Structure 1
Amino acid sequence: MQVTFRDFDPFNCWFWLRFPNVPGQGERQYLEETFNCWYFLGRLGGFNAENLQVHEEGADVSWMTYDNDEAETSLLAVMHNMGEFEYQNEWARVWLDLGTSDGVGLDVLINALRCLDRDLLQIEELQVGGLNDEWPVEESEDRFFEN
């Protein structure tokens, strides 16, 4: 799976996925559930690089002391909204307002999609941000409101 970043606006971000073949209903379900789970964690503030205490501790976290005060003082990092998946031939796209979530969230998504690509659904390309000349975006205010 090739990953490409284009013009990136976290508050108005399209994710474009290209497949070698038109994905079937089961494959679409895997893809959409991957994004839905990722988005749900983002809505709950899970992608906050300012509070990665366990990660920063290293491999041995036995008897680690978790600092709740440090966790409370970190800024919120939450995603705001996600549109519906759309499909056109070998392409899929979805719009997100990533809010104040951190880049760690994008890494988590890319890692999950790489596993999905390897095990369940071949993904040729993931494009993060920008527009796709082959599939114009119609401006719609609907996607700016909470689902």
Structure 2
Amino acid sequence: MDVRFREVDPFNCWVWLRFSEIPSQGERNYVDGIFDSWYVIGRLGGFNAENLQVHEEAEDLSFMRYDNDDASSAMPALMHNMGQLEYHEEWARCWLDLGTSDGIGLDVLINALRQLNSDVVQLDQLLIGGVNEDWPVEDHPDSVFPNMN
């Protein structure tokens, strides 16, 4: 799976997936499940790079001292909104308002889709941001900051 970033507006971002062939309903269900789960974690502030205490510990986690005060003082990093996945032939796309969530959220999505690519359905390409010329987009109805082009 080739991962590429195009112009990214975090408040009005399209994510594009190109499958090797038209996905079956079962394969679509897997993709939908990944995006839905990922969104719930982001909506609840799970992609907050300011509070990665366990990750930063990196060594033995036994008896790690978790700093609750530090966690409480971290600025919120909340994903704001996600549209429904749309499918057209071998393509899928999803509109996102990433809000104030940190880039780690996209890393988590990429990692999940890479594993899906290995285990379930072949994805040729993941494009983050931008627009495909052959599948035009309009301003998403949930967009707080519509495209001003």
Q: TM-score, normalised by structure 1?
A: 0.95
CA contact (8 A) 2:14 2:93 kept: yes
Displaced runs of 4+ in structure 1, greater than 2 A? Answer: 138-141
Letter of the aligned partner of 1:29 in structure 2?
N
Q: Summarize the Cα distance change of 1:103–1:140 in structure 2 as closer, same or farther, 3 Å threshold.
A: closer
Give 1:1-147 correspondences, 5 Å limit: 1-141=1-141, 143-144=142-143
Q: How far does the alpha carbon of each residue in 1:84-129 deviate from its partner, in whole angstroms, 9 at most, with x for none? A: 1111111000001000000111111100000000000110000000
Number of aligned residue pairs = 144
1:136 CA drift (Å): 0.5
SS of equivalent to 2:123: coil
CA distance in 1, matches of 2:9, 2:35: 18
CA distance in 1, matches of 2:65, 2:87: 47
SS of equivalent to 1:144: coil
> Unaligned 5+ residue runs, structure 1?
none
1:20 CA drift (Å): 1.0
CA distance in 2, matches of 1:94, 1:74: 29
CA distance in 2, matches of 1:74, 1:139: 32
- CA RMSD between the two structures: 1.0
SS of equivalent to 1:131: coil
Letter of the aligned partner of 2:113 in structure 1?
L
1:138 CA drift (Å): 2.3
SS of equivalent to 2:31: helix
Letter of the aligned partner of 1:110 in structure 2?
I
CA contact (8 A) 2:10 2:98 kept: yes
1:11 CA drift (Å): 0.5
Q: Percent identity?
A: 62
CA distance in 1, matches of 2:116, 2:79: 22
